[in-house]
Amino acid sequence: MQIAVALVSLFSLLSLISADVVTSFKPQCMEFFYRGMVPIWGEATPDAARICQRFVNRYHFATLYDTHHRIAVYSAYHFQPSNGGGREKRWFVEPQLVNSSWQAGMKTGEKLGKDHPGVYQGERQALNEDYKNSGFDRGHLNPNGHHAVPSSNATFTLTNVVPQNTKLNQNAWRMYEAELTDLFRAKCSKAYVLVGAIPSAHNWIGKNQTKRVNVPDYLWNAFCCVDNNGKPVQSGGGSARNTKDNCVERHSLDGLGKFLKRFTNKPVGELFDNNCI
């Protein structure tokens, strides 16, 4: 009897560890947070889902996902120099946001539909069809250009994108990401990054008179660079209104904390352990 109970307990633990949608980022996604510290920012988001983004049987980054607004609160990753892989042409969804008992690992909506015919996939997440003819880009939070293949492919999950103004996405925000690439290559042995969105009060992509995907008011970014010994060497962040204003404002981590405080009555807390000092 004791052996049977032990085997059941072990099976339950292994099932939890293999899951994509988890109750806590620990233990499988902690590598994407500096010194294993998950920020308290966003923890109070109602119905938030914690996703260990899994692709080709590996974890590539972590996302705190707002299932009500159907956009990410933030994605957390560490920078990888690109290895020149091509741009992914598919868009993925998270099966376990449809049914928690389904298989782990992102899939295309088409493939998931063949596995589970007739099941609606969009109750708790955005779908590719939501973005079609919406006037908005599928704006990556965790950018594909900050990764090597296959991690770059994994960023093409709809749980990692938000409706982004086309001009901002293709100009100022893209240039800001490129600026960070140069900084991370030149100054950092490893760079830990958070990229998030601030939902709007009333701006949504609608389909069939239904609010489907919230159009965020702002995008924001925070980074912590460390040397070969894990010692912080540089930090900072940026924010941008999600409009054709096409401008990114740079911040210190303290300044970014003050910026985020404007949008919540909850404590913001540190985004990185010891504020990356």
pLDDT tens track for 169-200 = 999 999 999 999 999 999 999 999 999 999 99
Mean pLDDT, residues 74-99: 93
Q: How does residue 11 score in pLDDT terms, banded at 50, 70 and 90?
A: very low
User: Rounded distance, CA 231 to CA 74, Å?
Assistant: 24
pLDDT tens track for 16-59 = 334 489 999 988 899 999 999 999 999 999 999 999 999 999 99
* Statement: residue 233 has pLDDT above 60: yes
* Statement: residue 5 has pLDDT above 50: no
User: Rounded distance, CA 100 to CA 22, Å?
Assistant: 9
* Statement: residue 6 has pLDDT above 80: no
Which CATH code is given to the segment(s) 2-276?
3.40.570.10
Q: How does residue 13 score in pLDDT terms, banded at 50, 70 and 90?
A: very low
- pTM of the shown model: 0.92
Domain extent listing, the chain: 2-276
pLDDT tens track for 245-262 = 999 999 999 999 999 999
Q: How does residue 103 score in pLDDT terms, banded at 50, 70 and 90?
A: confident
